[in-house]
Chains A and B, each alone.
Chain A
Amino acid sequence: MNAVVAVRQLTKRYGSLSAVDGVSFHVEEGEIFGILGPNGAGKTTTVEMIEGLRRPDSGSVSVLGMDPQTEGRAIKERIGVQLQTATLYDRIRVHEAIDLFAGYYQSAVPTVTLLEEFALVDKADTFVGKLSGGQRQRLALTLAVVNDPSLIFLDEPTTGLDPQARRNMWDIIRSLRKRGKTTVMTTHSMEEAEELCHRVAILDHGKIIALDTPNGLISAANLQSRVEIGAVGEALRKAIEEAGLPATAVHAEGRLILHTTEASDVLTRLAQVAAEQGVALESLTVKKATLEDVFLSLTGRHLRE
């Protein structure tokens, strides 16, 4: 595996505020690497230093084996970028915008192919100013891959989108990965990071506080899963409580809620108890801990505040 992006001890200060404070990580070829954290954690600043938009105060960045500060132009030929805040000219048509960007690169994917791939054929003649939020984000992504880049940067690609448009974007991002592209994305949505990312760096106050696969982060935090059974009768409840499961049980309004770090063990034993009692376990749900819980346990704060 080659490191497509290598960041070492990256630091950026604004006045007395350390926006990015000694961040190091590698992004490997073909992975979707997530940078996750609340607003103001330093995600965008980190990505902008990798892209070469901002000069780091200290530390080093290597992108596709090159230095963004001195080999910016060569890097720009081979990367694609979607920015969180940037918009385009309102009075440019969708196909014109794609043609325009295609003209900036030495080689480009044909506009028709891109329009089809990103479901913008119907909107080809529409002014950018008249697109919906979801269409606009799709266009931003289209423009990011117009040069068929090997490395793509996405800055909060689904912020402000409705759930339908969001799932659409996720499908597109996954399809890019299937074509062997490496993606670095920032997000403040835990759900998004779990859906898409192979590895996630959690950033808080400019520092990486955890870096692993989403599942790795969840198991490392040793968080409890929640097993819930509905319509539990007296006899069953007693039997479960007497079975000595590795869980803490709460009984409320006919439901039994078990908190445990060993969910699979608990489930097996529950099934045994139910079989011995000759009853079925009704409306059984298991809720695994999420990255949201990981963030809460690492920082003591919720992600969105």
Chain B
Amino acid sequence: MGITLRQAWLETKLFVRGLDNLFWTLAFPMFFVALFGLIYQDTLWEDMGVRAFEYVFPGVVVMAMMVTGIMHTGIGFVEEREKGIYRRLSLTPLQPSAILGGQLLHRYGLILVQTGLLFAIGGLGFGARISGNLGWIWLVVTIGSLCFLSIGFLLAGFVQTARAANGIATAVFFLFLMLGGIFFPSDMMPGFLATVSRALPSTLVNTALREVMIQGRGPAAIWRELAAVGGWFLVSFVVAIKLFRWE
């Protein structure tokens, strides 16, 4: 465990030293929250009885989780693999599980920090009311993170080069974003797309997060979504391990 924590700390240190990382995973989503805050201001969506900003806000949190979980993980891992870093590490007594565990821990921590910052700017800066229990919010974010992180590693196993990783991770990210009910509700989509949309982990996490953040509901209302996201996590995790390689 000590060595896993040390790997996580190393990854975190290296992450903080990259200004581009800080921008894309922390500043960029905050900029989105601010943008929506400025666009919607006090607009009320009366048929849903909710402030437009509060409705969109959980979606931006999910988007940020996917930037870190899918894009940053998938691309970052393949880049380091391409450089031969893992090949070199595999010639030391370090266990592969420590490298992988360190990566997961680091990126999970990153998502928590990122989510915290978004809540700060959304809540304090633009007055989004957060009705739900913080513990349930944490639960949704955690299960969602595990799912997106596994998908990121799964994609890394599919591709050979960092270029290819960039392409596939970006494609999956946009697919999940567009069909994830984040900017357009699934109900607005035509029949077939709506069905696909409802099954995507982005939609499921987004729905669960909205229920908790806006409606103040607990696990009783979102267990189906959580179970489905858990299913996505398990399947992608198992396949990711199968496809996993150090070089």
Contacts and interface: CB of A to CB of B under 8 A. Distances in A.
B87 A105 contact: no
Contacts of B80: 89
A57 B83 CA distance: 27
Nearest to B16: A91
B87 A104 contact: no
Contacts of A83: 84, 87-88, 91
Interface in A74-94: 76-77, 79, 81, 83, 85-89, 91-92
Contacts of A81: 88, 91
B14 interface: yes
Contacts of B14: 89, 91-92
A91 B87 CA distance: 18
B84 to A, nearest CB: 3
A37 to B, nearest CB: 22
A103 interface: yes
A100 interface: yes
A25 B155 CA distance: 42
B41 interface: no
A76 B84 CA distance: 17
Contacts of A105: 92-93
B94 interface: yes
Given A77-B93, A83-B88, A91-B17, A100 B10 contact: yes
A104 B93 contact: yes
A87 B84 contact: yes
B88 A86 contact: yes
A53 interface: yes
A53 B87 contact: yes
A179 B63 CA distance: 57
Interface string B83-107: 1110111111110000000000000
B3 A103 contact: yes
Contact of A87 (B85, B90, B91): B85
Contacts of A53: 87, 90-91
B83 A87 contact: yes
Nearest to A79: B91
Contacts of A104: 3, 89, 92-94
Nearest to B86: A86
Interface in B41-85: 80, 83-85
Contacts of B10: 92, 100
Nearest to A127: B17
Interface in A94-115: 100-101, 103-106
Nearest to A88: B85
Contacts of B94: 104
Nearest to B2: A103
A100 B14 CA distance: 13
A73 interface: yes
B135 interface: no
A91 B12 CA distance: 11
A51 interface: yes
A77 B94 CA distance: 10
B87 A86 contact: yes
B241 to A, nearest CB: 19
Contact of A51 (B3, B89, B91): B91
B213 to A, nearest CB: 36
A86 B17 contact: no
A183 to B, nearest CB: 16
Contacts of A88: 83, 85, 88
B106 to A, nearest CB: 13
Contacts of B6: 103
A225 B9 CA distance: 60
Contacts of A103: 3, 6
A105 B89 CA distance: 12
Nearest to A89: B14
9 contacts: A51-B91, A83-B87, A85-B84, A86-B83, A87-B84, A88-B85, A89-B85, A92-B14, A103-B3
Interface of A: 51, 53, 73, 76-77, 79, 81, 83, 85-89, 91-92, 100-101, 103-106, 143
Shortest 3 CB-CB contacts between residues of A and residues of B = A86-B84, A86-B88, A104-B92
Interface of B: 3, 6, 10, 14, 17-18, 80, 83-85, 87-94
Given A81-B88, A83-B84, A87-B84, 6 more contacts: A76-B91, A83-B87, A86-B88, A88-B83, A91-B17, A92-B10
